[in-house]
Structure 1
Amino acid sequence: MKNISQKIKEYDWCGWLFILIGIAINVLLAFICSILGLPLFLDTIGTILVSCMGGLLPGIFTALLTNALCTIYNGVSMYFAIINIFIGILAAVYEWKYANRSFIYKILFVLSAGLMSGGVGAYIQWHLFLAPQNPFIANSIEGLISATGFSKATTFFITNTVVNIFDKGISIGLALNIQHFIPEKIKQKISISSWKQTPLTEDELVAMRQWGKATDFSMRTRLALLLFGVSILVIAMMSIIELRLYYKKDVNEKAEIATSAATFAASIVDPEKIDEYITYGETYPGYKETEDILYKIRENAVGVAYLYLVKIEGEDMVFIFDLDASSDYEGYGYDGDAEGIKPGERIRLDEEFLCYVDDFHEGKVIPPTESDNSWSWIMTAFIPVFDSEGNCVCYAGADVSMSYVAEYVFDFMWRILLIMASIVIAILGYGIWSTGTYLVYPISSIGLGVESFVKAGDNQVEIDNAVRRLRKINIHTNDEIEKLYHSICNMALNQAEQIRSIRNFNENTAKMQDGLIITMADLVENRDVNSGSHIQKTAAYVKIIAEGLEEKGYYPGKVTPKFISDVVRSAPLHDIGKINVPDSILNKEGVLTPEEEEIKRTHTIAGKKIMENAITTVAGENYLKEARNMAAYHHENWDGTGYPEGLHGEVIPLSARIMAVADTFDVITSSKVKGVQYSVEEGIEYIKKNAGTKFDPKCVEAFVDSLPEIRVVYRKYNKNHG
C-alpha cells in the first residue's frame, strides 16, 4: 500500500481538476439562469463546493475565473467577482470551524452569504449601472414600489437581498449535498493535493504556531505585506497611467470638437454684417437665419454645450450671437431654460484667456483652452472671422463641457477598483498559500524536526524517533527547500548512526570495564574465605536503595539515573582496599586484637588511594569517583562515630551512606559473620534501629520499604538460608 507521501505527489493534478469542475458548474448554471430569465444566479455552487473541500485558495480561484468566463455572455459579470470571492471565503471558514456543529450554523452561513451578496451587489448595480441587472428584479420593482410606498433605491436593495438569500440558500444546500455524496477517496485526493509535504494535523499546526511565536516577525506576514504592497503599487500605477491616457485622449477629442464647431460657425457668418448684428440684433435682416444655422451646428456637434460669436474689445467680449445652453447639458452647470446674452452686451474674458488679448486683437487662432468658470468646467475654442479685406471682425467660440469627464473618470475608477480588488485578493491568497506551502510549513516542519532531534540528547530511542519524524515530513517543493530538507535528513540519519556506533562502543567499553572491576573485586573478595557473593549482593542492595530514594523524591538534585548507574557499577569496588590487608588478619577466626582491627580498618584509606590513582589514569569517569567515595567512607556513621575520618550526616558522600546500609545488612545476614547469623527480619530490625545513628534515615526508609525486592536478592544468593 502506498504511503501518504507518495499519494501527495500523485494527486497534485486533482486540485486543479476540481477547480475546473467547480468553474464549469458555476458558468453552466449561471448561463442557464440568464437564458431562462430566472430570479436566480446559481453562480456560486462550484465555489462553495471547491472551498469546502479544497480550501480557501482553490475557492478564490474558482470564483475569479467563473466571473471572468461569465463576461462572455454577461459583460458586467467581472464587477461582481468580489462577491463570489467573499462567498468562497465564507465557505472555507464555515468548513473549517462550523461544518460539524448544529444546523443553526448552516442557517447563519446562508444568511451571511445572502445579506453580503445582496447588499454589495445592490450597491454596485445602483451606483455603477443605475439599474438592476437581473430582469426579474427590474420587472418586480415598479409593482413593489406601488405596494409598499418605498423609494426605488430602498425597494431595490430589499428585493435584491431577498433574492440573494434565496439564491444562496439553494446554492449552499446543493453544494453541501454534493459534498456529502462524494466518495471519501476522492475527498482525500482533493484535500492533500495542495500540500507539498505530508499534511499536518491540527496538533502539529498548533505546535508550529507556538514554535513560530519565538520570531519577531513571521516570514508569512513579511511576504504577505510585501506582496500586498507591490500589488497595490502596480494597480495604482496602472490605474493612474490608464486614467491619464484616457484623460489626455478625451481632452484632445473635446478640443477637436470645440475647434470644429467654432470653425464651422465662423464659416457661415457674414463678416460684413457684424457691426449691424451688434447694433440691431434679431431685427436686422439675416440675423435670425444665421442663428438658426448656428443652432443646427451646435445640435450636430456632439458634446458642444454653448456656441456663440463675440467681438473682442480690450479685455471684453461684445456678444453678437449667444445660443441657449443645450438641454443635454442640464445638470452640468448649464441652465437649459436661461436666455442667451443679448447682442451688444459685454462680458469680461475669463482669466484663462487674458493672456491671449494681443492674439485676439491680431486675429490669431486661439488654442483650445480649459477653464473653470462660474458655469462649469469647459473646453473652449475661438476661431477668428475675417472680412473681405483680411481684417478680424469677430471670433466664433464653442464650449464643450468637461464636467461629465470627471464623473466618467470617477465611475471608471470604481470599475477598476472592483475588478482589481478581486485580482488583489486572488494574488494575496496565492501569495499567502504559496508562502505557507513552499516556505513556512516546510521550514517550520524542518525546524521542529531538528529541535526534537536536538532535545533527544543521548537517548537513542528518542533520536531514532526524531529521525523518523523528520523523514516522514517528505517535502517535495522541487526547489532549494527540498534540497535543504534532504541534506538535513541525511545529516540527521548519519549523526544518529554515529551516535549509535559511539553508544555501542561505549557500552562495550563499559562492559569490559565492569568485567575488569568484577574480576578485580572477586580477586580481592576471594581472599576472604568467609565471603559469599558479597559484591553481587551489595551491588543489588545498593541499586534497591538508590532507586527507592529516586522514587520517594529524596535528594532530587543528586539522585539521577546517571548517579544510580554510577553507584551500582562502583559498588563491587567498595572493599578494594582489602588487597593491602594480610590474609592472616582477613581470614583470622575469632576476635581481632586492637592492633589487628586497626590494620583491617586501613582498607578504607588504601581503597581511596587505589581509586584516586585509577581516576587519574581514566579521566572523566564519574563512576570511579563514586567508587572512591564508597571505598573510603562506607564505614562512616551518620552520627560521626565511624572511620576513617569521623564524618557525619550529609557530609558523608551519598554513595557511601547507601553502601553503609547495603554492606552492613549483607554482613549481618550472611555466613560471613562469626557467631549468630541474623535473619532477614532481624537484619531489617537492626538497620531500622540504627537509623539516625549509624545510617542515613532516608536510605534506611528506602531500603526497608523495598522488603520484597530484598527477599528476592537474599534468596538468590543465600539458597541455604531462605
Structure 2
Amino acid sequence: MKKKVERSVILNYVAIFGGVFLNFALSFLSYKVELPMYFDSIGTIGVAAVCGMLPGFLVAVFTNLICSLYNPFAIYYAILSVLMAGVTAVFVHRKYFKKKYMYLVFILILALISGGLGAIIQFLLLGQPQYVEVSHLSEYMATHFGLNFYVWFFLVNTCLNIVDKGIAVWIVFLVLKFIPEKNLDGIWDIGWQQRPLTPVELKRIKLSSKKNGGKLQKRVSRMLVIAAFTMTIIMGVISMHLFYTNAKERYIANATGAAKMASNVINTDRLDAYAKKGHEVGDYIEIENALYDIRSNFEGVEYLYVVRIREDGCQFIFDLATDTEEPYAPGEIVPFEEAFEEYLPALFAGEEIAPIESNEKSGWVVTKYYPVKDYSGNTVCYACADVKMDYVSDYFKGYVIKVVLIFSGFFLLILAYGMWLSRYFLVYPINSMAACTNDFMSDDDNQTALEENVRKIKALDIHTGDEIENLYRTLCTMTESTSEKMKDVRQQAKAINQMQTGLIITMADLVENRDSDTGYHIQKTADYVKIILAGLKKKGYYSKKLTPKFIADVEMSAPLHDIGKINIPDAVLNKPGKLTDEEYEIMKTHTTAGKAIMEKAISTVKGESYLKEARNMAAYHHEKWDGSGYPEGLKGEVIPLSARIMAVADVFDALTARRVYKDPMPFEKAMDIIVKDSGTHFDPKCVEVFVDAEKEVRRVLKKYQE
C-alpha cells in the first residue's frame, strides 16, 4: 500500500508540474500572437479532473503566478482559474458526465466564469476590454444591433471563451479516455492517511455524520473559513494601509521636491516686476516654461505656483495652467483658505512649514510651501506645489481591486488545503474509528462478529503520525483486549449455563422421580414448548415478547414448571386412583409452592432472568384463558406468555400419557380437546401453532412412546 501511495504522490507531482507547464506554454504562445483567447486552462481542467480539487487549485494559482512574468494582468485572473478547477473537480467527482448534455453545461459554466467574470475584471482593472479586437467587435455590435457596449462586451467575451474552454475540455477528455479508470482512482486517492474507504463506506460515514449533525466537519470547516478569511482580510488591510501611507508620503515628497526645485529658478530681484507686468518681463516666460518642466517630472503634482505672503492674502507671481483650470494672473491676490490660518504666523516669518492638507477650492490636496530666499537669506516668496489626493485615492481604489483579486485566489487555495488536511487527517480517521467502534459495540453478543470487527479496525491502518494515530493504536489494543475478554466470559458463561441446565434437570428429576406416574413428562412438555415457541415466532405472534433471550429462558426453565410438587405429600402425589376434593386442593398448591421456590431462588441468584420465566410457568401453567383457572384466576394475556404456552403442552401430555388409572388418549382425540378448549382454557394463538405443527408433535410423542 505504501508503494502505491508513493506512486500516487509522484503522479500528482508530475501532473501538477505538467499542467503548469502546459498552461504556461500555450498561454505564452497565445499572448505573443495576440489572440483574444488565453488557452491557459487545459492543464488546470485536466489536473482537476484527474487528481482532484486541491491539485487543480495549485495548477491554477501557479499558472497565473508564472504567466504574470510576461503578462502583468495574469495574476488577477487566478481566482477565475481556481473557480474553473473547482467546478471541474465537482463535475468529475459526482460523475455528472455520465449524461452527455452535461458536457455542454460544463463548458457553458466555464465560459461564464472565464468570459463573464473575466469581462468584469477587465473593466475593474482597465476600464475597457483588454484586447482591441474584442473592443471593436463590441462597438460594432452595439452600433448596429442596439444594447449597451458593456453588454455586448460581456457576450462577446463569453462566446470567445465558449470556444476556448470547449477546445480545452475536448482535449482533456479525449486524453482521459485512454487512461484506465482504476488508475485515475489511485491518483485521486492521494490524501488518504489510512486504508482508502470504499464508496459504500464513505456514504455510510456521511449518513452517520449527517445523522449526528456533522458537527466535527462543520466546526473544522467554519474554523478554516474564519481563519483563512481573517488572515486574508488582515493581510489585505495591512498591505493596503502600507500602500496608502507610502503612496501619500511619495506624493508629498514629490511636492516637496518640485517646490524646492522651483525655488531655484526664481529671480528674486524681479518679483515686483513679475507681479506687475507678468509676461511682459523678459525672462518671465523662460521661468514659466522651466516650472512646467519641473511639474511634469514629479508624479502627482497638479499645481505648481509662486506666491508672496501678504496681509490680504496670497499674491500670485507664477501660476501654471492645468487641463481643467486657468492660472491666476500675475499679481492677483487670493484670500487664505481656512486650512492655512494656523500656519500664517510662520509664513509671515518666512519659515518653512509642514505640508498642509486641505479640501476647499482646489479639492482634496496636500500643499508644500518652500521658502524662496534672496541673496541676504531673507524669505521673499514661496514656491508651492499641490498634490491632488484624488490621484492617491484613484490609485488606491485600483490597488484595492488588485489586492482583492489576488488574495481571493490564494484564499480559496488556502481554504482548499485546510479542508483537504482536515478531511484526511481528522474527519475521515475519526469517523472511520467511530463507525467501526459502533459495529463492535452493536455486535457484542456475537463473538465471531466481534473478532471480525477487530480485524476491520486493524485494517483501517490509520497513520496520521499524530495524536489521532495514537488514539487509533489505543483503540486497536482496547478492542482486541475486549474481544479476548468477551471470549473468556462466553466460555465461562457456557460452562455456567451447562451447570445450570444440569441443576435444573436434576431438580426436575427429583420431582419426577417422586411422581411414579409421569413418564418422561418433563422431556415431552419441554419439546412441546419448543414447538409452540417456534410456531409463534414463525407467524409473527407476540413478536415484541418473543426475543431470543425470552425463548432461551423459557426453553431452559420449562422442566421446572412442576417444581412445586416437591412439597406435595407422596400419598397425594402417587395416589393410584382419582383424588378427592380435599386431595385435589392439596395438589393445586404445587403452583404456589413452585412460585415460592422460584422467588427464593431469584432472590438468591440475582440477575438470572430465566428463573423469572420458571417462576411464571410454575405458578400459572394451570391458569385458563377465560379466567377460570388457578391459583389466581388470571385471564387472557394477563397470564404470562410462558405459562400459556406450558398450559397447552402440559394438558396435551396429560391427555396422551399413560396413567395407572387410565390409558393414553388417542392423538386425534387429544388434539380435538385442545382445539375445543381454544379460547376458554388455552390461548388461541398457542393452540393454532400447536395444531399446525402436528407432524412435529407426533414425532415427539412417538419418540417417547418407544
| Offset of residue 118 of structure 1 | 0.5
Contact 1:14 1:193 in 2 (8 A): no
1:522-561 counterparts in 2 under 5 A? 522-556=509-543, 558-561=545-548
Pick aligned residue for 2:648 from 653, 661, 673: 661
| Offset of residue 585 of structure 1 | 5.9
Contact 1:315 1:357 in 2 (8 A): no
1:329-368 counterparts in 2 under 5 A? 330=323, 334-335=324-325, 338=326, 340-368=327-355
Task: Tell me how far apart the structure 2 counterparts of residues 151 and 629 of structure 1 sit (CA, whole Å).
Answer: 92
Q: Does the alignment pair 1:403 with 2:400?
A: no
Return closer, same or farther for 1:710/1:7 CA change in 2, 3 Å cut-off: farther
Task: Tell me how far apart the structure 1 counterparts of residues 262 and 545 of structure 2 sit (CA, whole Å).
Answer: 111
Question: Quick one: percent identity of the two aligned structures?
Answer: 43
Correspondence for 1:250 = 247
Correspondence for 1:265 = 262
Task: Tell me how far apart the structure 1 counterparts of residues 660 and 175 of structure 2 sit (CA, whole Å).
Answer: 88
Correspondence for 2:73 = 76
Q: Does the alignment pair 1:282 with 2:279?
A: yes
Q: Does the alignment pair 1:706 with 2:693?
A: yes
Corresponding residue SS for 1:367 = coil
Correspondence for 2:27 = 30
Task: Tell me how far apart the structure 2 counterparts of residues 279 and 436 of structure 1 sit (CA, whole Å).
Answer: 81
Pick aligned residue for 2:106 from 109, 123, 127: 109
Contact 1:569 1:623 in 2 (8 A): yes
Task: Tell me how far apart the structure 2 counterparts of residues 368 and 261 of structure 1 sit (CA, whole Å).
Answer: 13
Bigger shift: 447-456 or 493-502?
Answer: 447-456
Correspondence for 1:436 = 423
> After superposition, what is the alpha-carbon deviation per residue over 1:423-456, rounded to whole angstroms, capped at 9, x for unaligned?
0011111112222222222222222333333333
Contact 1:13 1:193 in 2 (8 A): no
Return closer, same or farther for 1:185/1:632 CA change in 2, 3 Å cut-off: closer
Correspondence for 1:371 = 358
Q: Does the alignment pair 1:625 with 2:622?
A: no
| Offset of residue 86 of structure 1 | 0.9
Task: Tell me how far apart the structure 2 counterparts of residues 92 and 204 of structure 1 sit (CA, whole Å).
Answer: 21
Contact 1:378 1:400 in 2 (8 A): yes
Pick aligned residue for 1:576 from 522, 545, 563: 563
Give the RMSD, CA atoms, in angstroms.
3.2
Any unmatched runs of 5+ in structure 1? none
Pick aligned residue for 1:473 from 438, 460, 469: 460
| Offset of residue 259 of structure 1 | 3.0
Given residue 194 of structure 1, which amino acid in structure 2 is its aligned partner? G
Return closer, same or farther for 1:410/1:588 CA change in 2, 3 Å cut-off: same
TM-score norm. by structure 2 comes to 0.90
Contact 1:320 1:343 in 2 (8 A): yes
Q: Does the alignment pair 1:46 with 2:43?
A: yes
Task: Tell me how far apart the structure 2 counterparts of residues 578 and 407 of structure 1 sit (CA, whole Å).
Answer: 108
Task: Tell me how far apart the structure 2 counterparts of residues 600 and 289 of structure 1 sit (CA, whole Å).
Answer: 144
Pick aligned residue for 2:176 from 158, 163, 179: 179
Task: Tell me how far apart the structure 1 counterparts of residues 46 and 564 of structure 2 sit (CA, whole Å).
Answer: 83
Correspondence for 1:227 = 224
Pick aligned residue for 1:447 from 434, 448, 454: 434
Task: Tell me how far apart the structure 1 counterparts of residues 230 and 489 of structure 2 sit (CA, whole Å).
Answer: 58
Any unmatched runs of 5+ in structure 2? none
| Offset of residue 651 of structure 1 | 4.9
Return closer, same or farther for 1:582/1:32 CA change in 2, 3 Å cut-off: same
| Offset of residue 175 of structure 1 | 1.4
| Offset of residue 117 of structure 1 | 0.6
| Offset of residue 142 of structure 1 | 7.7
Given residue 272 of structure 1, which amino acid in structure 2 is its aligned partner? D
Task: Tell me how far apart the structure 2 counterparts of residues 154 and 612 of structure 1 sit (CA, whole Å).
Answer: 91
Bigger shift: 104-113 or 371-380?
Answer: 371-380
Correspondence for 1:488 = 475
Contact 1:8 1:197 in 2 (8 A): no
Contact 1:53 1:187 in 2 (8 A): yes
Given residue 601 of structure 2, which amino acid in structure 1 is its aligned partner? A
Return closer, same or farther for 1:254/1:578 CA change in 2, 3 Å cut-off: closer
Return closer, same or farther for 1:429/1:626 CA change in 2, 3 Å cut-off: same
> After superposition, what is the alpha-carbon deviation per residue over 1:463-520, rounded to whole angstroms, capped at 9, x for unaligned?
4454444344332222111211221232122222222221221122111211232234
Task: Tell me how far apart the structure 1 counterparts of residues 520 and 249 of structure 2 sit (CA, whole Å).
Answer: 115
Task: Tell me how far apart the structure 1 counterparts of residues 490 and 6 of structure 2 sit (CA, whole Å).
Answer: 38
TM-score norm. by structure 1 comes to 0.88
Return closer, same or farther for 1:60/1:711 CA change in 2, 3 Å cut-off: farther
Return closer, same or farther for 1:301/1:501 CA change in 2, 3 Å cut-off: closer
Q: Does the alignment pair 1:197 with 2:194?
A: yes
Bigger shift: 424-433 or 9-18?
Answer: 9-18
| Offset of residue 193 of structure 1 | 1.7
Q: Does the alignment pair 1:163 with 2:160?
A: yes
Task: Tell me how far apart the structure 2 counterparts of residues 645 and 287 of structure 1 sit (CA, whole Å).
Answer: 134
Correspondence for 2:501 = 514
Correspondence for 2:380 = 393
Bigger shift: 505-514 or 630-639?
Answer: 630-639
Contact 2:316 2:331 in 1 (8 A): yes
| Offset of residue 182 of structure 1 | 0.9
Return closer, same or farther for 1:285/1:578 CA change in 2, 3 Å cut-off: closer
Return closer, same or farther for 1:626/1:177 CA change in 2, 3 Å cut-off: same
Return closer, same or farther for 1:534/1:382 CA change in 2, 3 Å cut-off: same
Given residue 254 of structure 2, which amino acid in structure 1 is its aligned partner? I
> After superposition, what is the alpha-carbon deviation per residue over 1:354-406, rounded to whole angstroms, capped at 9, x for unaligned?
22212222222233333333234333222333344544332222333332222
Task: Tell me how far apart the structure 1 counterparts of residues 512 and 153 of structure 2 sit (CA, whole Å).
Answer: 106
Contact 1:18 1:190 in 2 (8 A): no
Contact 2:91 2:97 in 1 (8 A): no
| Offset of residue 69 of structure 1 | 2.5
| Offset of residue 568 of structure 1 | 1.2
Task: Tell me how far apart the structure 1 counterparts of residues 14 and 456 of structure 2 sit (CA, whole Å).
Answer: 31
Bigger shift: 180-189 or 297-306?
Answer: 297-306
Bigger shift: 221-230 or 566-575?
Answer: 221-230
Contact 2:191 2:420 in 1 (8 A): no
Task: Tell me how far apart the structure 2 counterparts of residues 496 and 46 of structure 1 sit (CA, whole Å).
Answer: 52
Correspondence for 2:554 = 567
Return closer, same or farther for 1:664/1:344 CA change in 2, 3 Å cut-off: same
Contact 1:125 1:132 in 2 (8 A): yes
Task: Tell me how far apart the structure 1 counterparts of residues 694 and 650 of structure 2 sit (CA, whole Å).
Answer: 16
Bigger shift: 306-315 or 680-689?
Answer: 306-315
Task: Tell me how far apart the structure 1 counterparts of residues 6 and 296 of structure 2 sit (CA, whole Å).
Answer: 69
Given residue 111 of structure 1, which amino acid in structure 2 is its aligned partner? L
> After superposition, what is the alpha-carbon deviation per residue over 1:107-130, rounded to whole angstroms, capped at 9, x for unaligned?
011111112211122222233135
1:118-137 counterparts in 2 under 5 A? 118-130=115-127, 132-133=129-130, 137=134
> After superposition, what is the alpha-carbon deviation per residue over 1:334-355, rounded to whole angstroms, capped at 9, x for unaligned?
33xx3x2222211012223222
Given residue 656 of structure 1, which amino acid in structure 2 is its aligned partner? A
Given residue 364 of structure 2, which amino acid in structure 1 is its aligned partner? W
Given residue 230 of structure 1, which amino acid in structure 2 is its aligned partner? A
Given residue 436 of structure 2, which amino acid in structure 1 is its aligned partner? G
